Amino acid sequence: VVTSYAKDGNLRQYIRKKVGNFPWIERLITLKDIAKGLEIIHNSGYVHRDLHTGNILRHGSWTMISDLGLTWSQDSVSTDELFGVLEYMAPEILSGGQYSSASDIYSFAMIMYEIASGKIPFHH
């Protein structure tokens, strides 16, 4: 697997580095880019299943969704195994439900929270 070089690391690292100096317009553009990437994944009939700030790469003004290894067809997603980072996992997944575009959208909402607050959701 080959991944593009991301000089700014992942979004989690980027948020920590930019604490107090992450302009709102840049945050909104970042969220727009993630939403667009997720739209492409979903419109192609797949779900990511492991969307979190550690799997979003930054390179200058570019934002890219990475770690597509757990991406799976929406028609064949198994409920037998849990994938992902607990703090970003949709409640229905934790209750034994099936991964879906809706569970990816929940993960995206947790990313929105982290970008807005600088904190990982539900992290103690």
Q: Is 50 a catalytic residue?
A: yes
**Given the residues 8, 33, 50, 104, the one annotated as active site:** 50
Mean pLDDT by groups of 10 residues along the chain of 124 residues: 79 90 95 97 94 95 86 67 86 91 97 93 72
pLDDT recorded at residue 2: 62
Cα 8 to Cα 11: distance, rounded to the nearest angstrom: 8
Indicate the pTM of the whole model: 0.89
Which residues, 6+ apart, have CB-to-CB distance to 89 below 8 Å? 82, 103, 106, 107
CATH of 11-117, one of 1.10.10.10, 3.10.580.10, 3.30.465.10, 1.10.510.10: 1.10.510.10
